[in-house]
Amino acid sequence: MLETIEFPAIEPVSLADAKAYLRIEHDAEDGLIESLIQAARQLCEVTVRKRLIRQRLRLVSDDLYAVHRLPAGPVRQVETVAVINVAGITEVLPEADYIVSGDRLACVTRWPNPRRPVGSFRVDYEVGFGEAPEDVPQPLRQGIRMLVAHWYEHREAVQTVAQPTVLPMGVAALWAPFRPVRL
């Protein structure tokens, strides 16, 4: 289970930036535009499997192999790795016992025997391209602007025959280079 324990402090696209892109000068729909920005950021994060602005996550899994590859990146730092035994007692592993390479976590010494009931593993880590909107790659930010504009103009709740795709093609093309490749 992956949960966010610290949400981003800001969005990668500001309200002023989105309103300028939409060519809107009034304040009547600021709440709507802010919610569209947040939803577009979240869809971008799910699509590219990366968190854009600095966040803290917690991964808890009883599957040792799920812990080897951290599910969201880019990983900035791993704060703690812990083993929770079947009695619920948590043992935090010293930093010298594991190494982090990209989004992979490997044990230097030895993981607990996976055949023995361990309980679960908990990894607290920090992800994101940075703390400021400028740290997020421009194509991801442009895709968010375009998606906000698309949703602002097309407010229907369901897809129509004229809009059969989940993402507009321009947005999908901008985000495609950031999606992980599966072999």
- Which pLDDT tens digit goes with each residue over 28-62? 999 999 999 999 999 999 999 999 999 999 998 87
CATH number, domain of 168, equals 1.10.3230.30
27, part of any domain: yes
Quote the pTM value.
Answer: 0.83
Instruction: Say if residue 113 is in the same domain as residue 148.
Output: no
Residue 183 forms part of a structural domain: no
Alpha helix ranges (H) inside the chain: 15-22, 30-48, 64-68, 138-153, 169-175
**Do residues 84 and 121 make contact, with C-beta atoms less than 8 angstroms apart?**
yes
Cis peptide before 180 (omega within 30 of 0): no
Residue 167 belongs to some domain of the structure:
yes
If asked whether residues 120 and 60 sit together in one domain, one would say yes
Nearest to 125 by CA among 56, 53, 51: 56
Is 8 a residue whose pLDDT tops 90? yes
Structural domain for 16, as ranges:
2-52+131-178
First vs last Cα of the chain: how many Å apart?
Answer: 24
Q: How many domains does the chain have?
A: 2
Sheet strand arrangement including 75-84: 2-6, 55-61, 120-127, 75-84, 90-92
